[in-house]
Amino acid sequence: MAIIVVLLTTLGIAVGGTAEIFLRKQLYDQIDARLATAMHPARPNGGGNQPQGSNGGFKPPSGFDTSRPFIGSEIGSISIVYDPSTNTVDDNSGIVSPKTDGSYDTGYTPLTTAAESQLLALKADGTAHDIDIEGYGSYRVIADDTDNGTIRVIALSLKNNNSTLLRVALVIGGALLIALAIAGWAGALIVRATLRPLRRVASTATRVSELRLDRGAVQLAQRVPDGDTDPRTEVGQVGAALNQLLDHVGNALEARHASEMQVRQFVADASHELRTPLAAIRGYAELSRRSRAPISEEIAHVLSRVESEAKRMTGLVEDLLLLARLDAGRPLAHDPVDLTMLVVDAISDAHAAGPRHYWQLDLPEEPVTVLGDGARLHQVLANLLANARTHTPEGTTVTVAVRAGHDAAVLHVIDGGPGIAPELQPHIFERFARGDSSRSRAAGSTGLGLSIVHAVVTAHRGNVSVQSVPGQTVFTVVLPLVPPPLVPSAGQLSQMAPRLR
């Protein structure tokens, strides 16, 4: 609409300017004709113009009263007869004015000296000029030589011309503004009515963009109404294309979900089936080591390694099975859990596993109780503490702090280790994500511990985040104190987190 208004404005200015220029030319042609008539006035007896070849000699016939203006002289016009040989101005010169006695006659009123000098300074070449006469306004002036050696100057006022041009310009400008206002208003209504289907298409796209499409079964039922998919219109083409795109995306999401379910089912089945042979391997290895029959040291070492790897693989299988169950949406227990006691027990276990680390507690005076599955929440704490123990050198201080917010409990696990590489932090909770040289893997890692933390906390309708710089890493877990609907994010509770050094 802005572009259309600009184009209409340009067109209106062009048309109005053309009309103004044409009108000005016509008015000036008329005043030039009147100047020519005034330069060659008619005889008083109606005998027509001056004799041919007189060149406007300005020789009045005998008996003519030269103190009066010639027939047809306009009120406000100026007539000067100047004799350059004597450097005098004829007494019967000046501006044509009505008589002061109330009659209809006119006469000459003398000009000011400045105005007279300004007019006499013009070149007597018979060419019309526009000048501003001091004290009298704008005039169209012509000066020419006469046969008797004098110079005659005729000037007609441009006041009426200028007034007419100004009024026409104002009328054209006003009409253009009114036309633009009406065109803009009507055009806006038309455009809005025309684009109403496009707004419905945009609304459909907005509703689709608000859906979570990254995981789980997605019911992509949003479509553009059939009335807005007419291929004969541009908006209809957009609506039809959007519907086709949504069909393709819906099919892709269904295929993705089916593939995810197959993988999850495979992982769950494989993990479940592997538990039995792994338990058998561990049992036979332990039985062989405890046998009374003498065995060589080499065989004993091999059996101990088999048992150790079987235990490690059993832990990996248990983690995969837990993740598969959480992905499948298996319900967790929903019981009151004393988070402070859970932290005390987890710290005790961590101290036993890593006696060369310094373990500290920062607990409130009152117990903090959350709703959830105690065993799974204990696993969250155990994994976080094991992560701190595994990826920090001996002698590192690990602090577990618990805080109770308005409607959520906040748990911080803080270690003074080397920190997590910035490029790894966005992926730290993904499955099989492992650190590099910035966090030692001396004790080994399956890369599933933190993904289990994320899955369990999410299943409890909470959230977990990490902040890490060299010298301090803070894992923050937020759990609801009461059943949601709304759980604050870790970002909203950033003020509760310890400030990084």
- Region of poorest pLDDT, from 62-71, 355-364, 393-402, 408-417: 62-71
Count CB-CB contacts under 10 A for residue 338.
14
pLDDT of residue 70: 64
Q: Does the pLDDT of residue 53 top 50, yes or no?
A: no
Q: Does the pLDDT of residue 483 top 60, yes or no?
A: no
pLDDT of residue 413: 93
Give me Rg for the CA atoms of the chain.
52
Q: Which helix (H) or strand (E) holds 141?
A: strand 137-145
Are residues 162 and 19 part of one domain?
yes
Higher pLDDT, 438 or 297: 297
Average pLDDT estimate for 28-40: 86
Are residues 406 and 343 part of one domain?
yes
Are residues 379 and 471 part of one domain?
yes
Are residues 470 and 365 part of one domain?
yes
Q: What is the DSSP string of 126-138?
A: S-EEEEEETTTEE
Q: Does the pLDDT of residue 202 top 90, yes or no?
A: no
Are residues 281 and 180 part of one domain?
no
The mean pLDDT value of the chain amounts to 79
Alpha-carbon distances of 455 from 110, 320, 408, 463, rounded to whole Å: 108, 12, 18, 9
Q: Does the pLDDT of residue 20 top 80, yes or no?
A: yes
**Is 238 among the domain residues?**
yes
In a 3-state reduction of DSSP, which class is residue 468? Answer: strand
Average pLDDT estimate for 237-241: 87
Q: How far apart are CA 151 and CA 57, in angstroms?
A: 10
Are residues 17 and 165 part of one domain?
yes
In a 3-state reduction of DSSP, which class is residue 194? Answer: helix
Q: In this structure, what token pair is assigned to residue 475?
A: 């894992």
pLDDT of residue 284: 75
**Is 501 among the domain residues?**
no
Single-letter residue type at 17: G
Instruction: Write out pLDDT tens, residues 387-446.
Output: 888 888 888 999 999 988 878 889 999 998 888 888 888 888 887 766 544 444 444 556
Average pLDDT estimate for 299-317: 77
Are residues 453 and 405 part of one domain?
yes
**Is 46 among the domain residues?**
no
In a 3-state reduction of DSSP, which class is residue 313? Answer: helix
pLDDT above 70 covers a percentage of the chain that reads 80
Tokens 């992982």 locate to 267
Are residues 117 and 178 part of one domain?
no
Q: Does the pLDDT of residue 111 top 70, yes or no?
A: yes
Are residues 478 and 353 part of one domain?
yes
Are residues 397 and 347 part of one domain?
yes
Q: Does the pLDDT of residue 271 top 60, yes or no?
A: yes
Last residue of a domain, one of 282, 305, 330: 330
pLDDT of residue 146: 80
Classify strands 397-404 and 358-362 as parallel, antiparallel or unpaired: parallel
Average pLDDT estimate for 100-111: 71
Q: How far apart are CA 477 and CA 327, in angstroms?
A: 20
Higher pLDDT, 369 or 274: 369
Count CB-CB contacts under 10 A for residue 127.
11
Average pLDDT estimate for 217-229: 77
Q: Does the pLDDT of residue 500 top 60, yes or no?
A: no
Q: Does the pLDDT of residue 170 top 90, yes or no?
A: yes
Can you list the pairs that 212-217 forms with residues at least 24 positions away whose Cβ atoms lie under 8 Å?
213/249, 213/253, 215/260, 216/257, 217/257
* Domain containing residue 249: CATH number: 1.10.287
Average pLDDT estimate for 315-328: 70
- Region of poorest pLDDT, from 51-65, 115-129, 180-194: 51-65
Q: How many domains does the chain have?
A: 4
Average pLDDT estimate for 230-234: 84
Are residues 77 and 215 part of one domain?
no
pLDDT of residue 484: 44
Q: Which residues contact 35 (CB under 8 A, 6 or more apart)?
A: 128, 140, 142, 154, 156
Are residues 441 and 361 part of one domain?
yes
β-strand partners of 108: 96
In a 3-state reduction of DSSP, which class is residue 288? Answer: helix
pLDDT of residue 476: 92
Alpha helices in 328-416 (DSSP H): 339-353, 374-390
**Is 172 among the domain residues?**
yes
**Is 468 among the domain residues?**
yes
Phi and psi (nearest 5°) for 409?
-95, 140
Count CB-CB contacts under 10 A for residue 240.
17
**Structural contact between residues 176 and 16, judged by C-beta atoms closer than 8 angstroms:** yes
- Region of poorest pLDDT, from 231-235, 375-379, 426-430, 492-496: 492-496
Alpha helices in 391-448 (DSSP H): none
Instruction: Write out pLDDT tens, residues 144-158.
Output: 888 778 888 889 989
3-state helix, strand, coil in the chain (%, to 5): 45, 15, 35
pLDDT of residue 217: 67
- Region of poorest pLDDT, from 32-41, 218-227, 310-319, 350-359: 310-319
In degrees, rounded to 5, the angle at the alpha carbon of residue 149 between the alpha carbons of residues 145 and 150 is 65
Average pLDDT estimate for 365-380: 86
**Is 146 among the domain residues?**
yes
pLDDT of residue 286: 76
Query: Which residue range is the domain that position 28 belongs to?
Result: 1-39+158-210
Last residue of a domain, one of 166, 188, 210: 210
Sign of CA dihedral 117, 122, 123, 127: negative
* Domain containing residue 422: CATH number: 3.30.565.10
**Is 456 among the domain residues?**
yes
pLDDT of residue 66: 54
**Structural contact between residues 340 and 364, judged by C-beta atoms closer than 8 angstroms:** yes
Q: How far apart are CA 144 and CA 111, in angstroms?
A: 19
pLDDT of residue 54: 40
Helices 297-327 and 234-289 meet at what angle, rounded to 10?
150
